[in-house]
Amino acid sequence: MIPSPVDPRSRLAVALDFPAARPALDFVDRLEDSCHWFKVGMELYYAAGNHLIETLRGRGFEIFLDLKLHDIPNTVAGAVRSVTRTGASLLTIHASGGEAMIRAAAEAAAVPYAPKLLAVTVLTSMDAAELNRVGVSDSPARQVVRLAQLARQAGGPEMGMVCSAEEIAVLRAEVAPAPMLVVPGIRPAGAPLGDQRRVATPGAAIAAGASMLVVGRPITQAAEPAAAARAILEEIAQATAQSA
């Protein structure tokens, strides 16, 4: 489950942002086995359900189930128990759900075959202005640290985090030296930003200390997705070698 520093495929999760199972599976075929991890988010999971997860697992892939659970503690704990039956390896919860919710999720995940939990801190689509509009006056970095500290305190040392590349260094310095840090908002040099605000190139994110990268549109919307994925894998490999 934990990304290997040797195999760059273990450090890339391709986001299957599709509205149904058939186009998602057709796309997986186009990747020509260049990828090992797939992120299934709310759009696809709500449309295709557990059958899709089972299909991907049956083909040997690892699944990052990005549901960003955020509800009362009892409901989130029940959702974690339900997800455990899917065989997903990673599952996201929102750190902003609070201490009791995080603790309930962690307790529900403390069983065999449960997914590793990742606490989402501040979405990479948000910047300081967006945070201010929802009542957070601190910078994204300070809010990320605050939520990560809460998640680690309530969820224990095994709790991973989701953050942008901009917060990797401060999280490793102020929260814990070696949590699993999953980083979305990855854009190869020159790629459109889309709705992302706090972004980085694959190489920069790995060099900063990311454990795993999440990449969607730069691969899913590429004319040749397998080639786009392999280019990112090569950048990950180079950055890993330079950081060793």
Catalytic residue numbers read 68
- Single-letter code of the amino acid located at 178: A
98 φψ region: left (φ > 0), alpha (ψ -120 to 50), beta (else) = left
Whether 119 and 162 have beta carbons less than 8 Å apart is answered as yes
CA distance 134 to 181: 25
CA distance 98 to 2: 25
Q: 24: number of CA atoms within 13 Å, CB side?
A: 24
- Single-letter code of the amino acid located at 13: A
